[in-house]
Amino acid sequence: MVSGFRLSLVLVILLASAFPIIGQPAIKATAPEINLVRGQEFIKVPEHLVAEGVPPVPTSLSKRVVPYLGGYGLPLAGWDTVKREVWLKTYENNEPVLSRLEAPESLLKTLYRLPNQFYDLYHQPGERYLAYTADKNGDENFQLYLFDLQSQKSTQLTDGRSRNVEPVWSNRMDKIIFGSTPVGRNGMDLYVIDSFQSRHNRRIAHSPGNMLQACDWSPDDKQVLYLEYLSNRSNNKLWIVDVKTGVNTLLTPKAPAEQTVYDNPHFSADGKGVYLITNRKSEFRRLAYFDLTTKQYTFLSGDIKWDVDEFALSPDGNIIAFVTNEGGISKLYLLDTKTQKVTPTKWAETGLIAPQTSEPASHLRWHQNSIDFAFDFVSPRTPNDVYSLNTKTGEFTRWSKSISDGVPFGNFSLPRLIHWQSFDGLKISGFLYLPPERFAGPRPVMIDIHGGPEEQHRPAFNGEDNFYLNELGVAKIYPNVRGSIGYGSSFLTLDDGSRRGDAVKDIGALLDWIKTQPYLDAKRVMVRGGSYGGYLALSAAATYGNHIRAAVSEAGPTNLVTFLENTEGWRRDQRRQEYGDERDPKVRAFLERIAPRNNTNLIKSPLLLVQGQNDPRVKAGEAKVMVEAVRRQGTPVWYLLGKNEGHGFSDPDNYFYQTYATVLFVQEYLLK
């Protein structure tokens, strides 16, 4: 999700798992506790982790894996408000700090030390405060806090019961608008904090049951743009609210003829219009300008037949830098707002510019001079480098370089874009990563399926992947099955409702494609996924068990009916548009019929299931039922339960142990 241009800092401290956060700072593994068994050292299972069926992890394995997990970058925090200096998100002794670079690739200088326990962090440019959100043990019940940079003290701004997310600072930096789930009711309302002294939160937008997200303040701070999400990615509305009166005005049609996305809306410099990304009357998401007086759209991204991911308007309003997603690879363009001329830049690296993560602010940051803008760049060889572009000369400058933990980044594999034809003739694509040539013969394959479902695998840095490639000789394939974002609006909806099983068939078609490739071993294939990707991995194991050696599911639903019934109210209606309404008897019967949990008799492949006890999306009991059912039929199951985890492991000790256990699982069931 995206909030305002004027936010100077957003930082998510999460660890990469099957659904990684891109460009994160590294969090080093602490020295694990050791058990000594018959003279051999094994890593002790962490205190808050339950490990069932997992064999002891030798310390020798951790010593091989850790260097691959230690590479990291220093993500962009923004520019100094006056000087041509870049601010970065860094760590000192595993504690988060804001640092600055006075010149490209110069020595880091510490600016501020930050609160340790937070999820998202929002800097108040040139002022004394940070706003941040934090939850407890991954329960996603986020509270909003104010952190005083001078006193280094935090003040809670919300009630402790509601879920509060995505605050946006006003231009004068004296107010915050944020989203809050009403206690005992579905949806997400919008509240304004008018005074940090009184901590009075005033509701200015009431949700009918959908999620509302604040996006941008008008130049005079009298109005706010916000989005109302009717589904997760494919349908929403754009509103404007008067901050003083609370009068809400809908800017988009009440009942559009087709699903339409409006994203990243921001006021023009004069406040007379709104720049935004939309797929209105198009298969792809285009950059557009909406005139607030005439209510007319002008489409600005030319003839580019790919999604626009991200954009940023220069402070003087004359240039828009925007990033496209072209088959998963980022391309960078400049738009002259006066002439509407689009100019491609010279950037030609394989990877992601301004990578979109769960962070709510743009990664494209203009300097106040309206000439320089900076961005993060990640790739399979680059955890996170920061670059800037001089828009007058067209020249790029690297400010910070990713840091290795002993394994050279240049040794890592760059992906190959592949295509295959599915059961119905639809062309599906994905990225293939091959191990070094020193591994002879057809290579075993790990198919890694993204979550969402409306996500997309794009070539970014993954230290665990590099270990499998470089040390074990495992090839990796990341498929972007139907329902993935980035390939047009029609492609995005091809797995909706009763077509859910078609996405599983895309994996079956990939298994057939693997058989045709002489450098891949079709007899040694495993499937893996996180969240919805875990659901597909389990579904593929049930459907294509004779062609799959093993499967790994991390926080994956085992039954979409119980997922819809148990997930939080603000998420439930969004997901019903994607999966179908489980209250409809026909839909319910279909979802029950295809649920992996109800087809455990078909699963003959060994499983590794990873689950958080506090996961608000996928209840821990679902994974446990799956574990017991598969074990009863004699199939090996390894099970990891994080007692202090939510939707994916974030505790460093748990995450590293999960990684080691997954490596052991691959060695045992894929490589032998």
pLDDT for the residue 26: 46
* Other Cβ atoms within 10 Å of 477 Cβ, number: 26
pLDDT tens digit sequence for 490-524: 999 899 889 999 999 999 999 999 999 999 999 99
Average pLDDT over residues 208-225: 93
Mean pLDDT of the region 267-285:
94
Q: Taking all residues of the chain, what is their mean pLDDT, rounded to a whole number?
A: 87
Bridge-based pairing state of the strands 342-344 and 329-336: antiparallel
**Which pLDDT band, with edges at 50, 70 and 90, does 359 fall under?**
very low
How much of the chain exceeds pLDDT 70, in percent? 91
pLDDT 10s digits, 590-624: 999 999 999 999 999 999 999 999 988 888 888 99
Q: Is the dihedral of CA 640, 642, 647, 653 positive or negative?
A: negative
Question: Judging by beta carbons within 10 Å of its beta carbon (0-12, 13-18, 19+), is residue 92 exposed, middle or buried?
Answer: exposed
Q: What mean pLDDT comes out for the span 283-298?
A: 95
Q: What is the pLDDT of residues 2-56, one digit of tens each?
A: 222 222 222 222 222 333 333 333 455 566 677 766 657 889 999 999 999 999 9
- What single-letter amino acid sits at 470? N
pLDDT at 326: 94
pLDDT at residue 131 is higher than 50: yes
Q: Could you tell me if 639 and 623 are in contact, meaning their C-beta atoms sit under 8 angstroms apart?
A: yes
| Backbone CA torsion sign across 41, 47, 48, 53 | positive
Q: Which pLDDT band, with edges at 50, 70 and 90, does 182 fall under?
A: confident
Measured between alpha carbons, how far is 421 from 330 in angstroms, rounded to an integer?
A: 25
CA distance 419 to 186: 41
For residue range 335-348, list pLDDT tens digits in order. 999 999 999 999 98
DSSP string, 125-189: TTSSEEEEEE-STT----EEEEEETTTTEEEE-S-SSS-EEEEEE-TTSS-EEEEEPPTTSSSBE
431-452 per-position pLDDT tens digit:
999 999 999 999 999 999 999 8
Return d(Cα 163, Cα 178) in angstroms, integer: 10
User: What is the rounded distance in angstroms from the CA atom of residue 496 to the CA atom of residue 455?
Assistant: 14
Q: Looking at the predicted structure, is the pLDDT value of residue 116 above 80?
A: no
Q: Which of 563, 548, 573, 562 is nearest to 635 (CA)?
A: 548
352 alpha carbon, distance to own chain's centre: 13
The confidence score (pLDDT) of residue 269 equals 92
Q: Which amino acid, residue 98?
A: L
d(CA 454, CA 499): 14
Task: Please report how the helices 500-515 and 532-543 are oriented relative to each other, as an axis angle in degrees rounded to 10.
Answer: 60
* Number of neighbouring beta carbons within 10 Å of residue 294: 9
Q: According to the model, what pLDDT value does residue 409 have?
A: 86
Q: Is domain 46-69+412-669 annotated with CATH 2.60.40.1120?
A: no
- Contact (CB, 8 A) for 186 and 229: no
Residue 586 backbone class (left: φ over 0; alpha: ψ -120 to 50; beta: rest) = alpha
What 3-state class would DSSP assign to 68? helix
Residue 664: predicted pLDDT: 97
399-413 pLDDT per residue, tens: 999 988 788 888 898
Q: Are 239 and 248 in contact, with CB atoms under 8 Å apart?
A: yes
Rounded-to-integer distance, Cα 664 and Cα 465, Å: 14
Contacts for 217 with CB less than 8 Å, ≥ 6 apart:
4, 6, 168, 169, 170, 171, 177, 223, 224, 243, 267
The pLDDT of 632-640, averaged and rounded, is 95
Whole-prediction pTM value?
Answer: 0.85
For the chain, what's the residue count? 672
pLDDT in tens, 64-86: 999 998 888 888 888 888 899 99
Domain residue ranges of the chain, discontinuous segments joined by +: 46-69+412-669
| DSSP conformation class of 32 | P
